[in-house]
Chains A and B, each alone.
Chain A
Amino acid sequence: MGNDAQTPDTAESVDFKEVQSTERFQELRKRHRSFVFPMAIAFLLWYFAYVLLADYAVGFMSTKVWGNINIGLILGLLQFVSTFAITGWYVSYSNRKLDPIAAEIRQGIEGHEFDKAGNPVSGAVK
């Protein structure tokens, strides 16, 4: 077979508990969680604030701002904007802060099968 996502040949000999306790891995874990958790809470709060306003503050949401465009429509479109912005922010954060450290730990475990960008050197995308 040799085509599973997990290749046991590289993994069985690894002491994952030891890797988990290393400073580098703890740093990676911290960087990941300190970004995704606050961000997830923030966008969920913003989304539910919007839903609650649309549900219980109909008068406010119906206030016309420009022509027939009301506050409800503007807040709805701002949900689109914030979604696109968070997406871009996360990608740039991952590229700068997460990928290099993840590739480093991976290389340490698997030997040098990956280049600096974290891409497999051979036999990857066909």
Chain B
Amino acid sequence: MIGIPSAVNVAALKDTTLLNMAIFGLFVAVTMVIVFRASRNNKTAADYYAAGRSFSGSQNGTAIAGDYLSAASFLGITGAIAINGYDGFMYSIGFLVAWLVALLLVAELLRNTGKFTMADVLSFRLKQRPVRIAAAISTLAVCFFYLLAQMAGAGSLISLLLGISDWGGQALVIIVVGALMIMYVLIGGMKGTTWVQIIKAILLIAGAGVMTLWVLSIYGFNLSNLLGAAVETANNPNVLNPGLQYGKSETSKLDFMSLGLALVLGTAALPHVLMRFYTVPTAKEARKSVVWSIWLIGLFYLFTLVLGYGAAALVGADTIKSAPGGVNSAAPLLAFHLGGPLLLGFISAVAFATILAVVAGLTITAAASFAHDIYASVISKGKADADTEVKVARRTVVVIGVMAIVGGIFANGQNVAFLVALAFAVAASANLPTILYSLFWRKFTTQGAVWSMYGGLGSAIILIIFSPVVSGGATSMIKDANFAIFPLSNPGIVSIPLAFFLGWLGTVLDKQREDTTKQAEMEVRSLTGVGAEKATNH
């Protein structure tokens, strides 16, 4: 078997469409029932946004893994390794190591100082209004970029499953996915979403684990043999070495650094991951959830290495690239090669559910941020009652859902892991400096926070707009124009240091001092958990 790329007949996929859709439909039906049952206890804002803080550390850790292991991790990384070899492995490492930033510096302190959203922490000891608005805007921006990636993944997956390669058909599919997702979030709130994440995380890790063992068994459980087969199929020994994708020029090497920086600093600044820390009752449970998720996520990324090289060896980069769905179709094609239509149906359903669940998690984060930070705190100046706030959150879900659908239709066809890396760069630039400064730097001021957040967010987005991602290249979103004056496809290496610098500059130039009592309160609360440790009493 080694060295002979058995042809995966992409056309044969069409015959199994009904089976795929039946398995997927079953999953949707089961999760809907769970969401509906979970939602019967949704009464208050804490219930809707933070699931009543009723989840245990291991449950929440599994849900975090579910949130984090998105289509980018499964479809995107497997595809990146299958096509670009070692350079794709970089995503796995960066996505995992990044969790140490969250574990050591952010998770517990954040759990102790916040209520529902990231802005709660950032505005704790600074001026509420400007900081809240800035934090909410950056939350919405990061969620939007992340949503684009998930929608692009959904488009790839379905075009492969149904053999739909025309633009209109894929657009229709994205609209259906979007509508389903809106239903989940409207009915279930955070509790329903968390349960969907848990189920999906278990299915995804188990499914990837089975495929990994399967691939390894073909090569006698010898990783070296698998790598050798990948080299033979690709007919290129460099798939095992760094630099296949990023080693071409000095610019592309710099791009690799930029990607590495964005990956490792982005996780601890992702609003939808941060919000998960509020669904547990104590900081100790928040720590447990991070530890639990680090183990699950690390295990999964080890699987992606085998799956990526397995797809390279058994399916072959050329077949993957020419299949509908392109680079994102490596994992489903590998499943089809291994287990035929049944495994493909299962893996596709899991991948689809992954997208659905992550999209739901992102949407609820964005909605909570708008309703809690902009509507309740700024527009109605704290006068809105909890019912109105939840009502606004639900309406926001619909608006964001529609925006994600439209954006996803345009982002369709790009590598999902690459698109998610952009969301990481935006998050690391806009949020991370302010999170770290406000937790650890006593003198940090409102001006520093506002400069850092808008500066980081603005520079990251502007650099993306003028990068080869948007225009000028063969894979750009707009192929017919070229205004790519910034050469790197990931802005992190410029925008992240800039945001840290602006936070420092804004603070030292600020003539106003912040309230030292509030600073003392935040520091004591963050380290001891005073007041935050009590769970909800209904």
**What is the interface of chain A, defined by CB distance below 8 A to chain B?**
1-8, 10-11, 14, 16-17, 19-20, 25, 28-29, 32-33, 36, 39-40, 43-44, 47-48, 50-52, 54-56, 58, 61-62, 66-70, 72-73, 76, 79-80, 83-84, 86-87, 90-91, 94, 99, 102-103, 105-106, 109-110, 113-114, 118-120, 123-126
Q: Which of B18-26, B176-184, B374-382, B522-530 contacts A (4 or more CB under 8 A)?
A: B522-530
Is the CB–CB distance between B86 and A73 below 8 Å?
yes
Is the CB–CB distance between A66 and B86 below 8 Å?
no
- A40 touching B105 in the complex, CB below 8 Å, given contacts A47-B264, A54-B90, A62-B242: yes
Is the CB–CB distance between B253 and A79 below 8 Å?
no
B235: Cβ under 8 A from any A Cβ: no
B99: Cβ under 8 A from any A Cβ: yes
Is the CB–CB distance between B528 and A68 below 8 Å?
no
Q: What are 17 A-B pairs at a CB distance below 8 A?
A: A1-B44, A5-B278, A11-B521, A20-B523, A32-B527, A40-B100, A54-B86, A55-B247, A62-B241, A76-B86, A76-B89, A83-B97, A84-B295, A90-B103, A106-B528, A118-B284, A125-B56
8 Å CB interface, B112-153 against A: 114-115
Output the nearest chain A residue to B533 by Cβ-Cβ distance.
Answer: A120
Is the CB–CB distance between B247 and A3 below 8 Å?
no
Is the CB–CB distance between A68 and B227 below 8 Å?
yes
Q: A119–B532 Cα gap in the complex (Å)?
A: 12
B536: Cβ under 8 A from any A Cβ: yes
A39 to B: closest C-beta gap in Å = 6
- A5 touching B241 in the complex, CB below 8 Å, given contacts A25-B524, A99-B284: no
Q: A55–B56 Cα gap in the complex (Å)?
A: 41
The interface residues of chain B lying within 8 Å CB-to-CB of A32 are 527
B524 to A: closest C-beta gap in Å = 5
A99 to B: closest C-beta gap in Å = 7
8 Å CB interface, B1-60 against A: 44-47, 50, 52-54, 56
- A90 touching B520 in the complex, CB below 8 Å, given contacts A4-B46, A47-B97, A106-B528: no
Is the CB–CB distance between A29 and B105 below 8 Å?
no
Q: A39–B103 Cα gap in the complex (Å)?
A: 11
The interface residues of chain A lying within 8 Å CB-to-CB of B426 are none
Which 9 residue pairs across A and B have the least CB separation, nearest first?
A67-B224, A68-B227, A3-B536, A62-B241, A16-B521, A51-B260, A54-B242, A20-B520, A3-B46
Output the nearest chain A residue to B99 by Cβ-Cβ distance.
Answer: A83
8 Å CB interface, B232-275 against A: 238, 240-243, 246-247, 253, 256-257, 260, 264
B298: Cβ under 8 A from any A Cβ: yes
- A36 touching B530 in the complex, CB below 8 Å, given contacts A1-B386, A3-B536, A83-B99: no
A79 to B: closest C-beta gap in Å = 5
Is the CB–CB distance between A87 and B530 below 8 Å?
no
Is the CB–CB distance between A3 and B260 below 8 Å?
no
The interface residues of chain A lying within 8 Å CB-to-CB of B44 are 1, 3
Q: A86–B529 Cα gap in the complex (Å)?
A: 23
Is the CB–CB distance between B291 and A70 below 8 Å?
no
Q: A115–B90 Cα gap in the complex (Å)?
A: 45
Of B50, B52, B115, the residue contacting A6 (CB under 8 A) is: B115
B205 to A: closest C-beta gap in Å = 16
Q: A25–B528 Cα gap in the complex (Å)?
A: 9
B340: Cβ under 8 A from any A Cβ: no
Is the CB–CB distance between B241 and A83 below 8 Å?
no
Is the CB–CB distance between A29 and B298 below 8 Å?
no
Is the CB–CB distance between A106 and B253 below 8 Å?
no
The interface residues of chain B lying within 8 Å CB-to-CB of A73 are 86, 89, 227, 240
Output the nearest chain B residue to A102 by Cβ-Cβ distance.
Answer: B528
Q: A14–B524 Cα gap in the complex (Å)?
A: 11
A117 to B: closest C-beta gap in Å = 9
Q: A44–B54 Cα gap in the complex (Å)?
A: 34
B104: Cβ under 8 A from any A Cβ: yes
B383 to A: closest C-beta gap in Å = 15
Is the CB–CB distance between B530 and A109 below 8 Å?
yes
The interface residues of chain B lying within 8 Å CB-to-CB of A86 are 100, 104
Q: A5–B116 Cα gap in the complex (Å)?
A: 8
B294: Cβ under 8 A from any A Cβ: yes
Output the nearest chain A residue to B231 by Cβ-Cβ distance.
Answer: A68
B68: Cβ under 8 A from any A Cβ: no
- A55 touching B257 in the complex, CB below 8 Å, given contacts A40-B101, A61-B242, A72-B86: yes
The interface residues of chain B lying within 8 Å CB-to-CB of A62 are 238, 240-242
B207: Cβ under 8 A from any A Cβ: no
Q: A6–B241 Cα gap in the complex (Å)?
A: 51
B462: Cβ under 8 A from any A Cβ: no
The interface residues of chain B lying within 8 Å CB-to-CB of A20 are 520, 523-524
Is the CB–CB distance between A79 and B527 below 8 Å?
no
Is the CB–CB distance between A39 and B256 below 8 Å?
no
The interface residues of chain A lying within 8 Å CB-to-CB of B86 are 54, 72-73, 76
Output the nearest chain B residue to A39 by Cβ-Cβ distance.
Answer: B104
B344: Cβ under 8 A from any A Cβ: no
A47 to B: closest C-beta gap in Å = 5
- A25 touching B240 in the complex, CB below 8 Å, given contacts A20-B520, A84-B294, A125-B535: no
The interface residues of chain A lying within 8 Å CB-to-CB of B89 are 73, 76
A122 to B: closest C-beta gap in Å = 9
Q: A13–B256 Cα gap in the complex (Å)?
A: 52
B287: Cβ under 8 A from any A Cβ: yes
- A29 touching B93 in the complex, CB below 8 Å, given contacts A44-B264, A58-B242: no
Is the CB–CB distance between A6 and B525 below 8 Å?
yes
A31 to B: closest C-beta gap in Å = 10
Q: A67–B219 Cα gap in the complex (Å)?
A: 13
Instruction: Kindly list 5 other residue pairs between chains A and B, CB separation below 8 angstroms, not including A19-B524, A118-B284.
Output: A33-B440, A39-B100, A55-B257, A72-B241, A123-B537
The interface residues of chain A lying within 8 Å CB-to-CB of B111 are 5
